[in-house]
Amino acid sequence: MQIIKNINNNFAIAIDGAGNRLIISGKGIGFGSVPRDLEDITRINRSYYDVDEAYISMINEIPEEIIDISNKIIDKARMVIDNPISSNIVFTLADHINFSIQRYKKKMNIKLPIVYDIQHLFENEMRIGEYGLKLIHKELNIYLPKEEAAYIALHIINAEEQDRNKKVNQDDEIIDKITAIIEKEYDIKINKDNFNYSRFVSHMHYLLKRGKTKHLIYSDNNTIYDKLKNDYQKTYDCVKKVSEYLKGILKIELTDEEKLYLMLHINRLCTREDCNQ
């Protein structure tokens, strides 16, 4: 095996004996000049094949203990779920958990009213989500709300590899239009080849799925919503235009809670370095 690029001290990109590109992790494995041969493969703790290039850059953004928790959750999922699960979910789930913890520390609890549906329609995935919450508490001493178990379940459901259909293609076109709205409002050009945008696209897929199934998020976070409207007027104006577009094309009327979550994601996307003018 040959290491061709260091990501950080404990992660690297490598080529295996069959010529396949993968990400490897292990203590100190990303330290040293490249390219170089890795003769002692016992140094490898984890291997990740077929990881989207856009997800690689965010490894440095997430604490390694959270990536480790995500690995353990996906290990559990692969034991109980028959469908293959992409390696990408380790990093998208870790990013979601990291974001959830940040919201928890700010006392921003976003309700998910379809928790009951997920419990009964996707029992295995929900059990994995509940396992994830217990693991987060055990390792980080943080109690995330039950809704987060459902969010973890949704990530797993989304990651179970299935054929893309016409509805997904339609969603992609809608997300492209929403991206164009954001670019126009902020007078920016969004880099669509990195993880920040991929993360935003994932959120939009979830939002569209909730809207089409009439399971939009409702809660009593009006105080937080009103504060963000005042603090981030530009983001709020952008969300209003996105909301009007969705109402016109899909008859989806976003709740204040959905607008709040969308504001958080747009603000997160458009305060990144790659979104500057």
pLDDT tier, 276 (very low <50, low <70, confident <90, very high otherwise): very low
Identify the CATH class of 61-159. mainly alpha
Neighbours of 170 (CB within 10 A): 13
pLDDT digit string, tens, across residues 15-32: 998 999 999 999 999 998
Q: Do 261 and 235 touch, CB atoms closer than 8 A? A: no
Handedness of CA 93, 95, 98, 100 (dihedral sign): negative
pLDDT tens column, 33-68 = 999 999 888 999 999 998 888 788 889 889 999 999
List the chain domain ranges.
Answer: 2-49, 61-159, 166-275
Q: Is the pLDDT of residue 248 over 70?
A: yes
> Is pLDDT at 161 greater than 60 in this prediction?
no
Of 135-149, 160-174, 188-202, 214-228, the least confident:
160-174
Q: Per-residue confidence at 165, pLDDT binned at 50, 70, 90?
A: very low
State the pLDDT confidence band at 117, using cuts at 50, 70 and 90. confident
pLDDT of residue 228: 86
Quick one: pLDDT at residue 139? 95
Residues 218, 113: Cα–Cα separation, whole Å = 7
Higher pLDDT, 18 or 114: 18
Enter the tokens of residue 248: 């016109």
244 has pLDDT over 90 = yes
pLDDT score, position 219? 66
Is 61-159's fold the same as 166-275's? yes
Position 277 scores a pLDDT of 44
Q: Is residue 113 predicted with pLDDT exceeding 70?
A: no
Q: Which fold has domain 2-49?
A: Transcription Regulation, Sacy; Chain A (2.30.24)
d(CA 45, CA 90): 14
Architecture in CATH of 166-275: Orthogonal Bundle (1.10)
Max mean pLDDT among 113-117, 120-124, 129-133, 167-171 falls in 129-133
For residue range 59-80, list pLDDT tens digits in order.
Answer: 988 999 999 999 999 999 999 8
Per the prediction, the chain carries an average pLDDT of 86
Residues 6+ apart with CB under 8 A from 87: 23, 48, 49, 50, 51
Q: Render pLDDT for 200-223 as a digit per residue (tens, 0 to 9).
A: 888 888 888 888 777 777 766 677
